[in-house]
Structure 1
Amino acid sequence: MASAWAGKTALITGGGHRIGRAIALSLAKKGVNCVVQSLPQSDASETLDEIRAAGVEAHGIRADFLKAGEAAKIFSILRESKIQVDYLINNASIFEESRLLDISADRMDATLAVNTFSPFILARDFAKQAETGVVINILDARIGGYDTGHAGYAISKIMLFHLTRMMALECAPGIRVNAVAPGIILPPPGKGPGYLRKIRGRTLLGTHGSIHHITDSVLFLLKNDFITGETLFVDGGENLKRKRYAPSVR
C-alpha cells in the first residue's frame, strides 16, 4: 500500500539550514518531494542532495524576502515549472535583538517583511492555486509573553500567530492552517550548546528540546486532518511557566 505522503510536494521557506532543513529532511524521508527556498547568497545544495538521497524530488528556489515582490513570485515560478504544492511550511525568519524604543523603522520593516508579510503572501497565493492543502507557520513560544529584548521579532511572530487563525477561517474547509511554536530547541547562531544548558530552567520540564520535537510536531499537524487554526507550543511548558503567579504568602 502506498504511503499517504507519497507524491505530495512541500515548499519549505528557509529550508536550507537549521529547523527548516530538519523539516525538509523529515518530509523527504516520508516520501514528500521538497521545494527549498533559500537566500540568493546561501548554499542549500547539501540539503537538496540529502533530500534526493531519500528518493524524492528536490527543487531549490532562491529568493530574498527583504526585497519587494520576491515572495509574490514564488508560486509563479512553481506554476511555470509545473510544480503543484500540497504543503506550505513558512519557516524563514529574522531573529535579532532589539528594544522597541531603539529599533529603527527600517529594521522593523525588514523583520516584518520576512517574518509576517512573506508568510501572508505565500499562504494567500497557495490558497489561490490549491483546493486542498496544509499551511504550517513556524512561530516562537515567546508569543505567549512580551519579549522586550527582541521586540521586532516578538511583534512579528505575534502577528503571524493571529494571521494563522485568520487564514484558517478564510481557507476552510479545503485548506488547513496551523502553527508550531518552538521553545528552547537550538542555540541562536553564534552561541554553543552551553547556551541551552544555561536557560533550560525556564521550562517546566527543566530541560531543552531537540530538533525532532519540532519535526514530529510538523508531521503531526500535516497528517491530522481535524485540526485547523491552532498553534502547538513545543516548549517544555515554558509558556505556561511564564504565566504562573507566585504562591500566596500566608
Structure 2
Amino acid sequence: MKTIRRVSRSQRRSRSLLILMLSIFLLEAVFVADAATLMVGTEDSIQAAIFKAKPSDTIIVNAGVYYEHLKVDKPVHLKGIGWPVLDATSSGSAITIKADGATVEGFRIKNAGSLMDMKASEAGIKVLSSNNRIDGNNISNNFNGLLIQGGRNNTIANNTVDGNLGFGIRLDRAMNNTIANNSLDDNSQNAFDSGPNLWDNNRYGDYDLPEKGCSDRGDGICQRSYTVPGGLNVDLGPRAKRI
C-alpha cells in the first residue's frame, strides 16, 4: 500500500520561491558571463567600440588623444587607462549619455561647447538619463563641465572640474542624484542645481579660505555649510582645499 504524502500550501510556496530564486541567479550568471572587455587604442574609435559593445561590456581606452563626440546609448563601462584625453574640438558635448546604467571613469575631457552656444546646453559630459556613474575624471576647459538634464539616481563622484567657461556642475530638472567628493575650482560658476539632490564633501573654489568662515578643526571638513546656487540644496560638509 502506497503512502500518499501531502504537500502543504506553505511547502509548495517555499518550493516555488526557491525555483524562482534559482532562475534569477542563473539569468544573472548568464548575463555576467556574456559581459566582454573591448580595448581601444589611439588608432581606434571609441564610438565604434560603443557601437560594437553589448550592455554591461567594459570598454578600456588607453592613453592618447581622441578627437571624438561620444554618444553612449547603452549601459557600458567606459574606463580610461593612463588618462586618455577626449577633445571635443570646441563644438558639441564630448560625451552625451542617453542610456541608463553607464559608467565613465578615468578620462581628461576638454574643449566641449563654444561661446556660440547661446543656450549653454553643451558640456564635457552631458547626462540625459538615470542610474549612471561619473567617477574620477578631469573635466576642464569646456563651456560647461558636467550637465545633468532630467536624470535621476546618478552618482557624480571624485571628479576634478575646473577652468570651465560656464558652470562646473549643473543640474536642471534632475532629482535624487548624488554629487560627492568633487573638486570645483576656477569655473565661472562652480555649481548650480534647481532640483532636490544630495551634495556632500565637495570643494567649491576658495570657499575654504579662513576669511570665508571655513574652520576645519584639522579634519579637512569645513564647519560652515555651502548652499548650492539654484535651489535649496546644501552641502553640510564642504571639503577644505588642503586635502
Common fold, TM-score beyond 0.5?
no
Scaled by the length of structure 2, the TM-score of the pair is 0.27
More strand by share: 2
Indicate the structure whose relative CO is greater, using CA pairs within 8 Å and at least 6 residues apart: 1
